[in-house]
Amino acid sequence: MQESAIGLAFGLILRGDANLLEIMGLSLRVSLSAVCLSLVLGLSAGAALATTEFRGRALATIAVNALMSMPPVVVGLLVYLALSRSGPLGWLGLLYTPTAMIIAQTILITPLIAALSRQVIEDLYIEYKDQFLSLQLSTAQQIKALLWDARYSLLTVALAGLGRSLSEVGAVIIVGGNIEHLTRVMTTAIALETSKGDLGLALALGILLLGLALLVNAILSGLNLTAKRQAYA
């Protein structure tokens, strides 16, 4: 079966199967949007946690770290209850749209970005602290310098977020509904084919999802390397 799945995967790609391209495109669109939003929210929270002193900071850090374990199904359920027509945000009419999927994934990934970036930024902050003091930089200037200097590590953080969002199925299947041509993404398609007993096709889609992740990672790493070369040339 494994061999036929690989053959099937290549066949689908070479044929340029329209349905498949649509599903892959939506997977990318939803995940990249969620990662963009999560970076804004998560990096802000991570930087704040790393550089400011306040009561309960240790507890907040533990809470953010713990939220990394949030089950996608629970996030999906919460977003469903909020966006359902009978829920508080039902009037927006967002349930079963890609937007609902982006919202759910943003909630899922933001804690991951916040927790990982907090560690990265804090490590750097300890190193830079005395310098910051002697230069008398404002908090905003400090955070700017930290984020810039940690950018390569933070790219890996962003990739971790992208990985989680590309691979999760529990949240998007509840709030998206796995509707053909509207909210079907790679993971929900894999779940569907598994439930139809078409394990070969499910596996082929899995291979393609992994290939997609590989492609995105390669592109971002390539950009990263180019940037590094220019920076240190």
Partner 1 sequence: MYRNLKVNSAWFALGLLLLSSGLQADKNHLLVQSTTSTANSGLYDYLIPLFEDSNNIKVNVVAVGTGQAIRNARNCDADVLLVHAKLAEEQFVDDGFGLERFNLMYNDFVVVGPKNDPAKISETNTLIDMMKNIVDAKALFASRGDNSGTHKKEIALWKHAQIDVQSNSRQWYRSTGSGMGATINTAIGLGAYTLTDRASWISFKNKQDYIVLYEDDPLLFNQYGVILVNPAKCPSVNAKAGQQFIDWLLSAETQQIIAQFTVNNTQLFYPNAQ
Q: Are 76 and 176 in contact (CB under 8 A)?
A: no
Cα distances (Å, whole numbers) of residue 53 to 50, 58, 134: 8, 10, 19
Interface with partner 1 includes 105 (CB under 8 A)? no
- CB 197 to partner 1: min, Å: 3
Q: Is 183 helix (H, G, I), strand (E, B) or coil?
A: coil
Residue appearing with tokens 């003091």? 133
Give DSSP secondary structure letters for 32-49. HHHHHHHHHHHHHHHHHH
User: Interface with partner 1 by CB under 8 A: which range of 8-16, 48-56, 66-74, 195-203?
Assistant: 195-203
Q: Which is nearer to partner 1, 16 or 197 (CB)?
A: 197
Q: Which residue, 123, 162, 121, 217, is CA-closest to 38?
A: 162
Q: Of the candidates 39, 45, 107, 213, which one interacts with partner 1 according to CB under 8 A?
A: 39
**How far is residue 217 from each of residues 84, 134, 151, 200, measured CA to CA in Å?**
35, 39, 16, 26
Q: Which is nearer to partner 1, 163 or 177 (CB)?
A: 177
Residue written as token pair 């099937």: 8
Size of the residue set binding partner 1 (CB under 8 A): 42
**Distance in Å, CB of 160 to partner 1, minimum:** 17
Q: Using CB under 8 A, pick the residue from 94, 104, 189, 204 that binds partner 1.
A: 94
Work out whether 85 is an interface residue with partner 1 (CB under 8 A): yes
- Which lies closer to partner 1 via its Cβ, residue 64 or residue 173? 173
* Piece of the chain touching partner 1 by CB under 8 A; list 30-38, 71-79, 125-133, 211-219: 30-38
- Rule CB under 8 A: choose which of 71, 88, 93, 222 binds partner 1: 93
51-80 CB burial, b ≥16 within 10 A, e <16: beeeeeeeebbeebbebbebebeebbbbbb
State both tokens at 10.
């290549």
Is residue 147 a contact point for partner 1 (CB under 8 A)? yes
Whichever of 139 and 226 has its CB closer to partner 1, that residue is 139
Which pair of structure tokens corresponds to residue 139? Answer: 């908090």
Cα–Cα distance measured from residue 189 to residue 183, given in angstroms and rounded to the nearest whole number: 10
Decide if residue 97 touches partner 1 (CB under 8 A): yes
Rule CB under 8 A: say whether 48 interacts with partner 1. no
Query: Does 82 engage in binding with partner 1 (CB under 8 A)?
Result: no
Binding residues for partner 1, rule: CB under 8 A, are 29, 32-33, 36-37, 39-40, 44, 84-87, 90, 93-103, 138, 140-141, 143-144, 147, 177-180, 182, 192, 194-199
